[in-house]
Structure 1
Amino acid sequence: MENRARDHIKMASNPKVQTAPLPRRELLVYWLLSFGSHFYSFYELHRFSKEHEAGLDREFVLEKGFLNGFKRDALDFEWTFWTAWAKKSFLWTLIGHAVISRLCSALYPQLRVMALTVYGLSAASSVLGLKGVAVLLVHVALSFFVAQLRKPILCWTCNLLFLCTLHIRQIQDIGRGWYEQQEEYSLLFSSVSMNTLRLISFSLEHCESPAVHSDGVLQLGWLLSYTFYHPFFYNGPVITYNDYVEQMQRAVEERKQHKGGAHYLLFRSARILVWWCIAEYMIHAMYMHAIKSNETYLEILPPWALGGLALALVQFFFVKYLVIYGLPSMLATLDQLVPPGVPRCVSIMYSFTGMWRQFDKGLYRWLLRYIYVPLGGSHHGVLYKILSTTLAIGFIFLWHGGHDYLQCWALMNWLGVLVETGLKALFGSPFLCSFLERHSSAATRRRCAALLCAFSTAMLILSNLVFLGGIHVGRIFWKRVLLQGWSTVAPPMLAFLYCFAQVGMEWTPHLSLVTMNSQRNNNKK
């Protein structure tokens, strides 16, 4: 199973399919229309935000901005939550982690893993308190002992029960009673959720490992190191247990200075600072989170501002995770780990499958390794592929909390992935593929693929709006764009999405639908 999972990951992360070339003037038009529509829609949203600033301030209490003449929309809970904790403690504890790691690497490399484990446990205790860390240690101990039985179904049951306890009101009330502020309990909630992924990874890797005599104390030590590795502890990104252990051991054995020296540190830090500035500028210039929280404003937004709101919400989500994943990934790289790549820009995502593969790459690999491939994936026919996709998306739905709006989001993604998979199979069939190759050029097939991707992108954006804003946001967009504006708003929107898809195909040449399958058939010949 491990080799198959790695093959899936390799194909997903290294898509080298060559795109069909288009005339340079045509591509230039696509680029100009894509950038122009972004900037103009953002400008219209900015104008609307300023025109209704007083009303938004009365209803939502906009914060005083860092820039003169601007207020700050702080209604995105995740951004406000993590930036507040970063100022309070995370930045300092991450700096402490980096200092200890470098000192141990230089002086006592054999003790580095142990030192980082003790430091991570201490840092978690200082924030979550002894009771919060005790919950995590109980989960680690129970999962460790269940894993010794080498029964994957028992491991899944044990860890899913941990996940379900997060949503039992009585247990939530007990946890909240340990802290003075709701934000502290939210941090425990996030830590337990992330820890569940790590415990599942350890348990299933242990079930697959050879059943030979091994040092249980050493295994438990590695599990604690993996669990309390400080950069990834609270919010990821996700890395599998085997990858963590192999890379940490290799780093100790090599005992050489990593490429991550002062220049690398300054360069990556500057990039993260730029991303942070972009995110802050967006919530100063456009009050998208306040606007999406009021249905009246959603109903009166001009069409261009409505499009700007959709783009701003998904772009802010992208930039936010560049910062949230960027700093931990930088520190992990200094520790000679290989963290998953940062998310790819959502404006060049033109399919559901592409979004799952390229946004949270660590979580995608985790799903492939532990759910999709073990259940058959794409190697055992259509029914196994549907089952694998269903359970992978279902697990993410449960892991995110199982709320009603997540049901809608999960269903839309499930349908989107299945429809795209069906279209790929259709256009990849020998008869249709050869027919298209005889009667159309490669450039024409690419344009047809981009047109299909425009419809897919529209549904992808709609699903993301449900995820980021709730069902009411998705419902209003559906009504205003596709029902009321089917003849006025929808056609230009699809035209711009067509341009986005062409730019995405040029920038990330792993074409879906027509062109990809044509290339596969050519390779077979």
Structure 2
Amino acid sequence: MEIVLHFDYCVAISKANPNWTDYTPAQLSLLSYFNLHVLWLKLLIPWRFHRLWSLIDGIDPPENMIRCLSDQPSTIAFWRGWHKSYNRWLIRYIYIPMGGMSSKTWLSTIRSIVNYVFVFTFVALWHDISLNLLVWGWLVVFFMMPEVIAGYLFPQRKWEDRPTAYRVICGFGAVGNLMMMMMANLVGFAVGVDGLKSIIHGIFRDLSGMTFLVSAIFVLFVGIQVMFEVRQSEARKGIFLRC
């Protein structure tokens, strides 16, 4: 963490309220990307450190952050594994008492989404009473919906005879998931709503920004295929993680 903060100024830049129009689309996107990785690292350190002390004391708590945020193509699985211990608490004491998701019907899915709104509103207020965090919580739920809808439109059982085509479709869907997760977390924990607007405006303001966006989509798509391959490798070894 000390090395990252010494050589990577993304946090200092974000906290200095800069003029975002001074940065190129590539600089804005990389600044956002590294900001999220600093967030991941600064949470990983205390969680793993305190879990170590629990293990020494004979207590085996859930492992938080099972995967790095650069190895997570699913929005739902990302939040399931990010703060796993807190996720279990939320499911046990808020989500299930509110009804949870009893079946895979449209009505049950809508009720589940409403429950998610209450859960993430609680999570936002638990972090801090802040408008950016409230917007973050609502964006998280909103950005989960495309993945849920895609699950109904493209069920895996109907693509068993076309696994390559299904993997490509999942790859493009995961690109959207990653971009939405980045936007939500940037609002809540980095640049806020105004900063995100400036980043989006910077990307779409000229041809170079659009070129960068297309290039970023291609790079993310390739990275997601690597993520899929990692999971297949784990499955061959008998490792089945839900995140």
Q: 1:484 & 1:352 partners in 2: Cα distance?
A: 30
User: Number of paired residues?
Assistant: 225
1:496 aligns with 2:219: yes
- 2:70 maps to which residue? 347
Q: Find the residue that maps to 1:320 and give its secondary structure.
A: helix
- 1:28 maps to which residue? none
1:314–1:418 distance in 2 versus 1, CA, 3 Å: same
1:375–1:285 distance in 2 versus 1, CA, 3 Å: same
Q: 2:122 & 2:7 partners in 1: Cα distance?
A: 36
Q: 2:205 & 2:16 partners in 1: Cα distance?
A: 20
1:424 aligns with 2:146: no
Mark the runs of 5 or more structure 1 residues left unpaired by the alignment: 1-278, 510-525
1:369 aligns with 2:92: yes
1:295 Cα deviation (Å)?
4.8
Paired residue type of 2:7? A
1:391 Cα deviation (Å)?
1.4
1:487 aligns with 2:210: yes
Paired residue type of 1:445? Y
1:482 Cα deviation (Å)?
4.5
Q: 1:444 & 1:295 partners in 2: Cα distance?
A: 44
Q: 1:327 & 1:437 partners in 2: Cα distance?
A: 43
Tell me: higher relative CO, structure 1 or 2? Use CA pairs within 8 A at least 6 residues apart.
Answer: 2
Q: 1:483 & 1:427 partners in 2: Cα distance?
A: 34
- 1:382 maps to which residue? 109
Aligned counterpart in structure 2 of residue 415 of structure 1, from 118, 142, 154: 142
Q: Find the residue that maps to 2:31 and give its secondary structure.
A: helix
- 2:236 maps to which residue? none
Are the counterparts in 1 of residues 29 and 199 from structure 2 also a CA contact under 8 Å? no
1:463 Cα deviation (Å)?
1.0
**What are the within-5 Å matches in structure 2 for residues 318-337 of structure 1?**
318-337=40-59
Aligned counterpart in structure 1 of residue 5 of structure 2, from 283, 286, 289: 283
Please identify the structure whose Cα radius of gyration is greater.
Answer: 1
1:289–1:446 distance in 2 versus 1, CA, 3 Å: same
1:338 aligns with 2:60: yes
Are the counterparts in 1 of residues 26 and 212 from structure 2 also a CA contact under 8 Å? no
Q: 1:505 & 1:481 partners in 2: Cα distance?
A: 28
**What are the within-5 Å matches in structure 2 for residues 54-65 of structure 1?**
none
Paired residue type of 2:71? I
**What are the within-5 Å matches in structure 2 for residues 147-162 of structure 1?**
none
**What are the within-5 Å matches in structure 2 for residues 110-121 of structure 1?**
none
Paired residue type of 1:369? R
Are the counterparts in 1 of residues 75 and 181 from structure 2 also a CA contact under 8 Å? yes
- 1:16 maps to which residue? none
What TM-score comes out, normalization by structure 1 length? 0.41
Identity %: 23
- 2:82 maps to which residue? 359
Q: 2:223 & 2:198 partners in 1: Cα distance?
A: 23
Identify which range, 314-323 or 484-493, moves more after superposition: 484-493
CA-atom RMSD, angstroms?
2.1
Paired residue type of 2:3? Y
1:409 Cα deviation (Å)?
0.9
1:508–1:403 distance in 2 versus 1, CA, 3 Å: farther
Aligned counterpart in structure 2 of residue 478 of structure 1, from 200, 216, 220: 200
- 1:391 maps to which residue? 118
Mark the runs of 5 or more structure 2 residues left unpaired by the alignment: 233-243
Q: 2:113 & 2:205 partners in 1: Cα distance?
A: 31
Q: 1:464 & 1:306 partners in 2: Cα distance?
A: 15
Q: Find the residue that maps to 2:211 and give its secondary structure.
A: coil
What TM-score comes out, normalization by structure 2 length? 0.84
Q: 2:194 & 2:9 partners in 1: Cα distance?
A: 18
- 2:235 maps to which residue? none
- 2:39 maps to which residue? 317
